[in-house]
Structure 1
Amino acid sequence: MAAKYQLMTELYRCTGIAVARNPQAWQSFLAAACRNYKCRFDEQLLIYAQRPDAIAVAELDTWNKRFKRWVNKDSKGIAVFDPKGRRNTLKYYFDVSDTHDGYYGSRPVPIWQMNGRYEQAVIERLSDRFGNTESTDLAPALTETAKNAVEDNLQDYFSQLKGFTRDSFLEELDDLNVEVCYRRLVTNSVAFMLMSRCGLDANEHFDREDFEGIINFNTPATINALGIATSDISEMALKEISLAIQNLQIA
């Protein structure tokens, strides 16, 4: 187990550096991570490294007990860090594509999809939760939501980033310019994840320059600071979207 944990630690480090190498690599990661938005950033990074096509992951017990689904024979688990276990331990996720129905029926896996008839209700819920959005079109409304959500939550994350800029390209910048770069990149990253998860082609709404700041996050510590903020804030918004759709479906 110690050897496997060390292997995953190195995979995590290398993948973090790889996805922050250029704007295209970062956008590719965001497009995959948005599918498993309830996972922590470190989990999203390891899932991307091992199964970039994963749609919805869960542990074996969750598939068996909650959804009454069974993992296919010879399926390979996705190793992620287990902070609740003993020191330096791993746990394993399986994607929904690795499972099949149980003998006595299975519960539906709640993988929501955006639909045109949901858009206005989603926009209204996001406005209530994160602040008014002027647009009635989904893509610009998601962009405004990302901006509002980042504005409300970024300072806690930025205070941590300031202590980790050493040896990165951010080290040469003063605090003001570091914050400007960080805010712009987190805002665009959150918006990219929201659009991607809602089935929009996010690449149509962003230019390469919108993510050019990613190259400044060239150390594990700065990548973590960027990834954790992006993942956490995206999850806040995507949970609201999920709830809005769920309520409409129940109604």
Structure 2
Amino acid sequence: MAKYENIRALAKKQLQAVTESSDRWKAFLRTAAIAYNYSFPNQLLIHEQSPTATAVADIAYWNNNAGRWVKRGAHGIAVFDTRANSSRLRYLFDISDTIPRAEIPEALPWVITDQNWRPVWDKIVADNHADSIQSALLMLSTSCVAQRSAMFTTALGKAIDGSSLQWAKPDEQRQLFLQLITQSCLYMAALRCGVDTARLDLSALESVNQFDTNRITLCLGSACQQVARPLMQQIGSITREIDSVARAEKVRYYGDKQEETNNTKEVNNGVHDGERLPNPGADVERAADAGDRQVRQPAAEIPAGERADGVR
């Protein structure tokens, strides 16, 4: 079992490394996109110990709520127990470390699949009166940041000393900080929705290396987590609603078409046969029809039960 001090040292190491380059930051954001319910320090620990994880939860959730058993001998991901307010650790397990024992769709991760991406995208675009899924996700990210911009600006002022960003003009500091939060959350949302990230403006991420002290990195990561959480919950709510209707009406979607089906597992949140999240292969015909859709392994999340940390 990992010792608390060892895990603290691991988190500090990640804190110092994660903003060294835009590539490192993007790699971290892939983990943050599926672990948005967890605090930023715990996201760092999940990323370091299990960078390929697709859905993480503790053993109690898997066994008692999700209808799955954690495999014997599986190695847990050590994170801080933020619920205990003490120097304690808790252990999480990826969905790949579990096996099914029951079908409980509502307790499994929400995920954008080949069956539901079109109605999910259409709903997001329509709700935001946008002309594309990229525009809609940018609107959502921008709105979530704007609602918290005053708090984020105050936090930045307390954390900027000693960083490379300190030497920029105050207006430039604020603008870059808010742009970086917005584009980071846009990137996470695009990954979760299967949107081709090459079509996004992510230029602010190239300046992430200016966040080169522990305090300012913690400020940035905590801000991103606070924005990503409601953003992802909103997308997840749309996805779950569409999946629920599809199961009830026994239909499945393919692009702009829908078919009746008697196999409810085919619309079961993308978890086929109750085992693992699918890893779709390249499909040239579907990709051409999808246009902006990026064919990638879907990401997922399990409710974490953690409170969102304040920007410190």
- Report if TM-score (shorter chain) is over 0.5: yes
Change (3 A) 1:70 1:192: same
What residue number does 1:158 align with?
Answer: 153
Instruction: Give, in whole Å, the separation in 2 of the partners of 1:69 and 1:106.
Output: 9
| Distance apart, 1:106 and its partner CA | 4.4
Equivalent position to 1:120, from 119, 122, 126: 122
Change (3 A) 1:83 1:117: closer
SS of corresponding position for 1:80: strand
Q: How many residues align?
A: 240
Q: 1:192-211 alignment to 2 at 5 Å?
A: 192-206=187-201, 209-211=203-205
Change (3 A) 1:173 1:210: closer
**Residue 104 (structure 2) pairs with residue 107 (structure 1):** yes
Equivalent position to 1:176, from 159, 171, 177: 171
Equivalent position to 2:217, from 216, 223, 227: 223
| Distance apart, 1:95 and its partner CA | 0.7
- Structure with a larger share of its residues in helix: 1
SS of corresponding position for 1:142: helix
What residue number does 2:236 align with?
Answer: 242
Change (3 A) 1:141 1:250: same
SS of corresponding position for 1:21: coil
Instruction: Give, in whole Å, the separation in 2 of the partners of 1:44 and 1:83.
Output: 12
| Distance apart, 1:29 and its partner CA | 1.1
Superposed CA offset, 1:130-153 (max 9, x none): xxx5x3311121112211221122
What residue number does 1:36 align with?
Answer: 35
Task: Choose 197-206 or 66-75, whichever is displaced more.
Answer: 197-206
| Distance apart, 1:231 and its partner CA | 1.4
Q: 1:28-177 alignment to 2 at 5 Å?
A: 28-85=27-84, 87-102=86-101, 105-108=102-105, 109-113=108-112, 115-125=117-127, 127=128, 133=129, 135-177=130-172
Point out where structure 1 has 5 or more consecutive residues left out of the alignment: 128-132
Instruction: Give, in whole Å, the separation in 1 of the partners of 2:172 and 2:131.
Output: 33
* Length-normalised TM-score, structure 2: 0.72
What residue number does 1:130 align with?
Answer: none
Instruction: Give, in whole Å, the separation in 2 of the partners of 1:84 and 1:38.
Output: 13
* Length-normalised TM-score, structure 1: 0.89
| Distance apart, 1:217 and its partner CA | 0.6
Is the Cα contact below 8 Å between 1:122 and 1:245 reproduced in 2? no
Task: Choose 241-250 or 211-220, whichever is displaced more.
Answer: 241-250
What one-letter code is carried by the residue in structure 1 that aligns with 2:207?
G
Point out where structure 2 has 5 or more consecutive residues left out of the alignment: 246-312
Identity of aligned residues (%): 27
Is the Cα contact below 8 Å between 2:22 and 2:208 reproduced in 1? yes
| Distance apart, 1:86 and its partner CA | 5.3
| Distance apart, 1:69 and its partner CA | 1.3
Q: CA RMSD in A?
A: 1.8
SS of corresponding position for 1:9: helix
